[in-house]
Amino acid sequence: MIAALLGSLLLAAGCAGVPSDRVTTDRIDYGQVIAESWKRQTLLNVVRLRYADAPVFLEVASLINSYTLGGRASAGAALPSAIDPNVLNLFAEGIWSNSPTITYQPLIGDRFTRSMMQPIPPTAVFQMLQAGWPANLVLSTVVSSVNGLRNASPISDVDPGYAEFVDALTRIQRAGGIGFRVEPRKEGSSIVFVMRRGGVDKATLEDSRRIRELLGLEQGPEEFEVIFGLLPRSNRELAVISRSMMEIMLNLGAGVELPAEHVGSGRALPGRPAASQAAVLVRIRSGPAAPSDAYAAVQFKDYWYWIDDSDIASKRTFTFLMLIFSLAETGQPTAAPVVTVPSR
């Protein structure tokens, strides 16, 4: 009898395993934490750059979660006595634990230069348009100039012609009047920008004509080659200067609303000129206390900085900023120091 009970206990311990639903739980929980930390790190670095402080990026290189499941059981018997009438003692114990190990990798050296300092390739800019991202979002965030027309920057207003070009291209995009084609060449891939003249309405044709006029493009052709540069070599080229991630973050930092005591004290870089406040891409609020409802919030220099959860325009642009980090990463990553921290 005792042997049978003991065998049942050991069999139960041996048959136990890690439940399969832990995969779903772990993936969602850890994914949510990593996503939130990514947003906060990006927001903090935008704020730090506004204060002329160095940005620091620490990537989650790997996350390994191991489970320990075990148990032990024992049983014993004794003759009954007047003092202790018990004749059978049973004992069972289960052990369940998990030990996640997170590996962090700092973004330094050559990877920092490639990811943060090099301009995003113009090919990637137009591929984002092809993927369906709105032209007004892509061109106002990622592009510095097109055929000499300048976008807004933290120290200058947008050229009126650039704003008109972006508005017209956005309308053409909505009407399905633009397209792109990547052509492989010996020196690398080249992208061809297409503005359709057939199968579109009169308003779209007028926007197309106006874009050609603003950019100095030939009125007849539908296709124009995209190159990197300030000015085109001919009237059948689209010369684009794209921004680096550092430039984009500096530009977004101009939207930080500084605490009153920091304004004019020389503690932070100047914001946008008053005339170009409408060009602020992301509005970052500040205050002495943590917000109750924010898309992302961080603390810096004894103040809280956040993006309102109800500010959908700022949330969309900020999310777009995080997505284009991958476009700024080119080439093979180089070895870098890693810090592995056991977590519980």
Given a contact cutoff of 8 angstroms between Cβ atoms, the answer to whether 132 and 173 are in contact is no
Given a contact cutoff of 8 angstroms between Cβ atoms, the answer to whether 317 and 249 are in contact is no
In a domain, 50, yes or no: yes
In a domain, 91, yes or no: yes
Strand order in the sheet with 223-228: 149-150, 143-146, 237-242, 223-228, 190-195, 178-183
Task: Give the span between the Cα atoms of 175 and 208, in whole angstroms.
Answer: 11
Q: In this structure, are 152 and 40 located in the same domain? A: no
Q: In this structure, are 103 and 21 located in the same domain? A: yes
pLDDT for res 81: 58
- What is the pTM for the complete model shown? 0.76
In a domain, 331, yes or no: no
Task: Give the span between the Cα atoms of 42 and 252, in whole angstroms.
Answer: 11
Q: In this structure, are 141 and 91 located in the same domain? A: no
DSSP output for 114-169: IIIISPPPHHHHHHHHHTT--HHHHHHHTEEEETTEEPPBTTBPPPHHHHHHHHHH
For 66, 79, 106, 260, the CA distances from 102, given in Å and listed in that order, are: 11, 54, 13, 39
pLDDT for res 7: 53
Of 211, 243, 275, which one is at a domain's C-terminal end?
A: 243
Q: In this structure, are 124 and 103 located in the same domain? A: no
Q: In this structure, are 239 and 142 located in the same domain? A: yes
- Strand pairing report for 143-146 and 237-242: antiparallel
In a domain, 114, yes or no: no
Own/partner contacts of 235-238, CB < 8 Å, gap of 24 or more, are 238/146, 238/147, 238/193
In a domain, 214, yes or no: yes
In a domain, 311, yes or no: no
Spatial neighbors of 137 by CB under 8 A, at least 6 apart, are: 316, 317, 320
DSSP 8-state class, residue 251 = H
Of 109, 144, 174, which one is at a domain's C-terminal end?
A: 109
Q: In this structure, are 141 and 59 located in the same domain? A: no
In order along its 344 residues, the chain shows pLDDT tens digits of 545 544 554 445 445 556 667 777 777 888 888 889 989 999 999 999 999 898 888 888 887 777 666 656 555 555 565 565 655 666 666 666 667 788 888 887 777 777 788 898 888 888 888 888 999 999 999 999 999 999 988 778 889 999 999 999 999 999 988 888 877 776 666 788 999 887 789 999 999 999 999 999 999 889 999 999 999 999 999 999 999 999 999 888 888 999 888 887 888 887 765 545 556 889 999 999 999 989 999 999 899 999 999 999 999 999 998 888 766 664 444 444 454 445 45
Q: In this structure, are 64 and 176 located in the same domain? A: no
What residues form DSSP beta bridges with 69? 96
pLDDT for res 149: 96
Q: Closest Cα to residue 169, out of 248, 250, 238, 249?
A: 238
Q: In this structure, are 66 and 169 located in the same domain? A: no
Domain count, the chain: 2
pLDDT for res 86: 58
Q: In this structure, are 92 and 130 located in the same domain? A: no
Q: How many CA atoms lie within 13 A of 128 on its CB side?
A: 25
For residue 43, what are the domain limits?
Answer: 2-109
What residues form DSSP beta bridges with 178? 195
Given a contact cutoff of 8 angstroms between Cβ atoms, the answer to whether 272 and 256 are in contact is no
Of 243, 275, 306, which one is at a domain's C-terminal end?
A: 243
Collapsing DSSP to helix, strand or coil, 229 comes out as coil
Biggest alpha carbon–alpha carbon distance for the chain? 111
In a domain, 251, yes or no: no
Q: In this structure, are 20 and 103 located in the same domain? A: yes
Q: In this structure, are 137 and 50 located in the same domain? A: no
Residue at token pair 């984009």 = 248
pLDDT for res 150: 94
In a domain, 267, yes or no: no
Task: Give the span between the Cα atoms of 126 and 31, in whole angstroms.
Answer: 30
For 119, 227, 233, 236, 323, the CA distances from 147, given in Å and listed in that order, are: 17, 10, 10, 11, 26
Q: In this structure, are 59 and 142 located in the same domain? A: no
